[in-house]
Structure 1
Amino acid sequence: MQLVITPDGLVRCVYDEAIDLSQLGAVDIRRGSHVEPNAAGQWTADLSPVEGPVLGPFPTRRLALEAEIAWLGEHWLTATNR
């Protein structure tokens, strides 16, 4: 689990239950995407909640989740304008 601490003391991360985030202070959890099946039974990761693209389709939910996490880590987690 990667934690990014901003100069003003805010902590950002892609949520995981690896650590108890409440130990760091007040927690504000927001949705980063919607991973859903499509009509063909494939999976997409819609990153519109963080102004991102729709990824996929993927043959499995696991692949869609992995793509979601990779995109959030590369494009959202360390973004300086958030």
Structure 2
Amino acid sequence: MDETLEIVVGRSGTVRMVYDEAFDGRCLGHPSIRRGSEVEPTADGQWTADLSRVGGPRLGPFSFRSEALAAEVTWLRRHWLVRDDSVFPSHPTPGDSL
């Protein structure tokens, strides 16, 4: 997995990044952290990453949870992080996803 932290600032001033404990997002203000996907085991012991919360696919199955997590981050960086910020309101309302 690429360890580069990417931060995108949209036209409305909304800051978006894939969460990483190595960076304290509070230094940019009051963060709103929301789950973008779910990495869960399947009935047969495999792993999937469900990105439907951000309009993405279900990835997998993977043999290891770490593989599902890596695929999740890769997808988020390639497809969600760079998306036009007009899709995501700068002031989310209850029930909004990521």
Partner of 2:42: 38
Give the match's secondary structure for 1:45. Answer: strand
TM-score calculated relative to the size of structure 2: 0.80
The percentage of counterpart residues that share the same residue type is: 56
Distance, in Å, in 2 between the alignment partners of 1:8 and 1:63 is: 34
CA RMSD of aligned residues (A): 0.8
Which one of the candidate residues 41, 58, 78 is aligned to 1:74? 78
SS at match of 2:20: coil
Amino acid at match of 1:69: V
Residues 1:59 and 2:82 are matched in the alignment: no
- Give TM-score scaled by structure 1 length: 0.95
Residue 19 (structure 1) shift? 1.2
- Alignment length, in residue pairs? 82
Is there any run of 5+ residues in structure 2 with no aligned partner, and where? 89-98
Q: Which of structures 1 and 2 has the larger relative contact order (alpha carbons within 8 angstroms, sep 6+)?
A: 2
- Cα deviation 1:3-44 (Å, max 9, x = unaligned): 011122221000011111001001001111000000110000
